[in-house]
Amino acid sequence: MAAMAGGGPRQCRRLEAEAARAVLGAADTLLFDCDGVLWRGEAAVGGAAATLGRLAAAGKRLCYVTNNSSRTRVAYTEKLRRLGFPPAEPRHIFGSAFCAARYLRQALPPGAAAYVLGSPALAAELEAVGIPHLGPGPAALPGPAPADWAQAPLDPAVRAVLVGFDEHFSYAKLCQALRYLLRGGSDCLLVGTNRDHRLPLEGGTGIPGTGCLVKAVETAAQREAFIVGKPNRYMFDCVVSEFNIDPARTIMVGDRLDTDILMGNSCGLTTLLTLTGVTTLDEVKGQEGGSALHSSIQDLLDHLVRCLVFCNCWHQRCWGPQLLPQLCPGWLAACPAHAPGPARPAEEPDGLGGQVQEHHHLLHNLAE
């Protein structure tokens, strides 16, 4: 079982056979990240739907915990259905849009409105909980220059600025957000759906993530946002309030150390890292370098890659003190050195680039 900080050395082991049966047997609930774990864009990860079908048939509760703020819960149930996953109800889906709306409903006085930098889905989730909102879509401001924008009337009801993924982000909207935050001071909440730097797309490209927009607002306003998404624990709190969850009997499955695994470990869950997502570990390295994490994560991730290539278990010596044990997943699904398929070169520090690791191992281990 995953040991928490101060609970002794963490070990990350490859999940297969006996260990898999034991770990899965001990769990009632599995929480799945979506992008990079279940699907990439519109393509399901091979074996994922069948795996989840088997887990559901075995009586496990399946929930979905995603930082992506561009879809409503209903839209996620649609996507799961479309890609062949077991049927899910909206109450099983914990997207950052839904959870941000829930947070604001708890945190705002009745009638207070939110100025939103975000998608129609984020607006829809606010609507669903009865929070008035303005802002989504292109900025609608008088005149072409900041001098004009500074004269635009501010809505007196706004008591929160909410930042999600916003393809219409612009200097004008940033201006408005800053004005609301300055007007309200500590009476105006600043909330971000998540800090992801990058939204990976198919083919290894990506676009800037919500974290960039949150950082722009935080820098201009010189204050820190409350972040709803992983690795913060608010989304797990939402799961707990919906279902009777025992953390010791819950597994968090994700593809990112700094969001999925960190949240899972912080909440006392068993954590399972899959290598199907974050495209390559290079991506993870690149993102870690840009995050606020400990500066030695780069070296430790290099250790990680070498360990995987030679199919060693990860030991405490690979990890530094303090923060890093929190990033060590309890289990690793699918070691590439044992993946079915063509033989791989022995020395390949970046050898995980582009490797698609299927869910076969997990599924195989679950069968009898």
Partner 1 sequence: MAGCRRLSGAGLREVLGPAQGVLFDCDGVLWAGERAVPGAPELLERLRRSGKAALFVSNNSRRSVAELERRFSRLGFRGVRAEHVFSSALCSALFLRQRLLGGGGDAGNGGGRVFVLGGEGLRGEVRDAGLRLAGEGESATGPAEPVRAVLVGYDDQFTFAKLAQACGYLRDPQCLLVATDPDPWHPLSDGQRTPGTGSLTAAVETASGRKALVVGKPNTYMFDCIVERFGVDPSRTLMVGDRLETDILFGKNCGLSTILTLTGVSRLEEAQAYMASDSAAAKDLVPNYYVDSIADLIPGLDE
List residues near partner 1 by CB under 8 A. Answer: 145-147, 150, 166-172, 174-175, 178-179, 182, 197-198, 207-209, 211-213, 215-222, 286-287, 289-290
**Shortest Å distance, C-beta 123 to partner 1:** 17
**Rounded Cα gap, residues 115 and 129, in angstroms:** 15
Cα-atom radius of gyration of the chain, to the nearest Å? 21
CA angle (74, 80, 365) in 5-degree steps = 140
Q: Known catalytic residue: 33?
A: yes
For residue 341, the minimal CB distance to partner 1 (Å) is: 29
Of the residues 28, 35, 246, 282, only one is catalytic, namely 35
For residues 267 and 269, give the distance between their C-alpha atoms in angstroms, rounded to a whole number.
6
**Helical (H) or strand (E) element with 27:** none
When the beta carbons of 7 and 138 are compared against partner 1, the nearer one is 138
Asked about 35 being catalytic, the answer comes back as yes
* DSSP of 243-299: S---GGGEEEEES-IIIIIHHHHHTT-EEEEESSSSSSHHHHHHHHHHSSS-TTHHH
* Least spacing, CB of residue 160 vs partner 1, in Å: 19
| 237 vs 282 by CB, closer to partner 1 | 282
Q: H or E stretch including 15?
A: none
The letter for the amino acid at 44 is A
Instruction: Note whether 287 and 199 are within 8 A (CB).
Output: no
Residue 74: enclosing H or E segment and its boundaries? helix 73-82
Q: Using the minimum distance from each CB to partner 1, give the nearer residue, 270 or 287.
A: 287
Q: How many residues does the chain have?
A: 368
Q: Is 41 left (phi over 0), alpha (psi -120 to 50) or beta?
A: left
For the CB of residue 178, give the shortest distance to partner 1 in the complex, in Å: 6
Q: Catalytic: which of 33, 166, 196, 255?
A: 33
* Beta carbon of residue 203, minimum distance to partner 1 (angstroms, whole number): 13
Catalytic residues: 33, 35
